[in-house]
């Protein structure tokens, strides 16, 4: 794809011209959010766009070797749910599924806001794949037919198997982590998930906040699959 052109418009155009004061000849790194990073050289700048010549193409640069999904229950405190979105993006997840579980007491679904948080985090951490933030789904529907194949993990405070044990020998499987709301999962939900092949795992001996459990589990998954 050397020799190909890239045209940047909108926010990226404004950021390059007004904030970075870019000029023709400058080298930049651009990402398409679909899994590819590009080394490029600016060839022309107009009031509408920045044109670049692509000099190198790097599929999956800074991406995990497997696809990781986080299915996280909606949280009452929207700021804490945004922490999950931001940190999940930094830790390399490909897909974020907000869940409605029995004990969820959140009402608002702010998919546009969450996607903006993921976009900002993607750029900040140097990824080239923008995680997909889906619309909220019911826990049962996700467990029944929405969850991808792979190593399926559900952190739960009464589980016996430590997460790091469950991650040993994950091979090259994709991973999905399902985390609960402030009040946790019900026993019925854990049974439903277990029936669908989700492994209940333990994250130490303390009662972690919902967003801490999500971030801690994803950190361990990221290190195990890297």
Which residues of the shown chain bind a second copy in the complex (CB under 8 A)?
Answer: 62-64, 83, 86-87, 90-92, 124-127, 162-164, 203-209, 212, 215-217, 219-220, 222-224, 226
Rounded Cα distance, 24 and 144, in Å: 53
Phi, psi of 97 (to 5 degrees): -115, 110
Find the shortest distance in angstroms from Cβ 158 to a second copy. 13
Find the shortest distance in angstroms from Cβ 135 to a second copy. 26
Q: Which residues, listed in sequence order, are joined to residue 21 by a DSSP beta bridge?
A: none
Q: Which is nearer to a second copy, 145 or 206 (CB)?
A: 206
Q: Which is nearer to a second copy, 51 or 62 (CB)?
A: 62
Q: Which is nearer to a second copy, 140 or 181 (CB)?
A: 181
Find the shortest distance in angstroms from Cβ 7 to a second copy. 26
Q: Which is nearer to a second copy, 15 or 62 (CB)?
A: 62
Find the shortest distance in angstroms from Cβ 161 to a second copy. 12
The DSSP annotation for 140-203 comes to HHIIIIISPSSEEEEE-TT--SBHHHHHTT-TT--EEEEE--TT---HHHHHHHHHTTPEEEB-
Question: Residue 127's closest CA among 18, 32, 55, 216?
Answer: 32
């Amino acid at each position: 794809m050397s020799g190909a052109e890239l045209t940047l418009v909108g926010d990226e155009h404004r950021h390059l011209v007004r904030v970075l004061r870019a000029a023709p000849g400058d080298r930049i790194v651009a990402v398409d959010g679909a899994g590819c990073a590009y080394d490029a050289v600016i060839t022309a700048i107009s009031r509408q766009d920045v044109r670049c010549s692509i000099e190198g193409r790097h599929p999956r640069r800074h991406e995990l070797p497997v696809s990781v999904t986080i299915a996280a229950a909606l949280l009452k405190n929207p700021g804490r749910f945004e922490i999950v979105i931001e940190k999940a993006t930094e830790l390399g997840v490909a897909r974020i599924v907000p869940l409605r579980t029995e004990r969820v007491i959140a009402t608002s679904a702010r998919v546009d806001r969450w996607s903006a948080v993921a976009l900002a985090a993607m750029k900040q951490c140097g990824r080239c794949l923008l995680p997909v933030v889906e619309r909220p789904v019911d826990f049962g529907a996700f467990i029944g037919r929405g969850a991808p194949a792979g190593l399926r993990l559900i952190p739960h405070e009464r589980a016996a198997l430590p997460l790091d044990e469950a991650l040993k020998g994950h091979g090259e499987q994709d991973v999905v982590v399902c985390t609960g709301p402030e009040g946790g999962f019900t026993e019925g939900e854990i049974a439903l998930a277990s029936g669908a092949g989700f492994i209940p795992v333990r994250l130490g001996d303390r009662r972690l906040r919902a967003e801490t459990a999500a971030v801690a589990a994803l950190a361990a998954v990221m290190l195990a699959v890297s």
